[in-house]
Amino acid sequence: MKRTLILGDTGLPKRSNDLLEVSNRIYDGKKHESWLLAFSPDQENLPEGFERIILVQDEGNICEDARYICAIIMDLHSTYAFDAILIPGTWIGRMVAPRLAKRLQVGLVAEINDVKTRDDALEFVRTAYSGNILSGIAITSSPPIILSIKPGIFTWEQKSGVNTIIQNYTKKLQSPSSLTCLKRKQRSVSYDIRDSKVLVSGGGGAKRAYPLLETLAKALGGEVSVSRKLVDQGIANRTIQVGQSGKIVNPRLYIAIGIDGAIQHVEGLRNVETILSVNTHSDAPICSISDVVVVGDAKIFIEKLLQRIALENEGTIHDQYRGERK
Partner 1 sequence: MNIICLVKFVPDITGFTYDYHASAMVREHTRMVLNPDDECALSFAFKLKEQHPESLIHVVSMAPSSVVPHMHDLLRLPVDRGTLISDPLFAGSDTYATSEVLGTYLKSQEFDVILSGSRSLDGATSQIPGQIAQMLGFDHMLDITDIDVGRTSRTDAVFSIEGEKETTTWSMQLPGVLSLARSSTCKLPYPSYADLQKDVSDKLTILTNKELGIDSTHIGLEGSLTKVVHTYEANSRIREKTVVEADDEGIEFVFSYLKERGFV
* 85 near partner 1, rule: CB under 8 A: no
- In the set 155, 167, 168, 274, which binds partner 1 (CB under 8 A)? 274
Q: Name which of residues 143 to 162 contact partner 1 (CB under 8 A).
A: 148
- In the set 67, 77, 143, 164, which binds partner 1 (CB under 8 A)? 67
For 133, phi and psi rounded to 5 degrees? Answer: -135, 145
| Minimum CB–partner distance for residue 82 and partner 1 (Å) | 17
- In the set 16, 196, 244, 250, which binds partner 1 (CB under 8 A)? 244
* 166 near partner 1, rule: CB under 8 A: no
Cis peptide before 41 (omega within 30 of 0): no
Is residue 99 marked as binding? no
Longest dimension (CA), the chain: 76
* 294 near partner 1, rule: CB under 8 A: yes
Give the β-pairing of 32-39 and 253-257.
unpaired
- In the set 208, 218, 270, 318, which binds partner 1 (CB under 8 A)? 270
Residues 6+ apart with CB under 8 A from 251: 196, 197, 198, 199, 222, 272, 273
Q: Name which of residues 22 to 61 contact partner 1 (CB under 8 A).
A: none
Is residue 279 marked as binding? yes
Q: Name which of residues 299 to 318 contact partner 1 (CB under 8 A).
A: 300-301, 304-305, 308-309, 312
- In the set 5, 149, 206, 278, which binds partner 1 (CB under 8 A)? 278
CA dihedral 57, 59, 61, 67 (to 10 degrees): -70
Is residue 228 marked as binding? yes
In Å, what is the CA distance from 155 to each residue of 14, 50, 92, 99, 271? 12, 15, 21, 26, 11
- In the set 14, 32, 77, 99, which binds partner 1 (CB under 8 A)? 99
Amino acid type, 72? I
- In the set 6, 56, 101, 226, which binds partner 1 (CB under 8 A)? 101
Cis peptide before 47 (omega within 30 of 0): no
Size of the site for partner 1 (CB under 8 A): 98
| Minimum CB–partner distance for residue 10 and partner 1 (Å) | 10
Please state, in angstroms and rounded to a whole number, the distance separating the CA atoms of residues 122 and 145: 10
**CB-based contact 297:280 (threshold 8 Å):** yes
Residues belonging to the binding site for FAD are: 227-228, 241-245, 258-265, 279
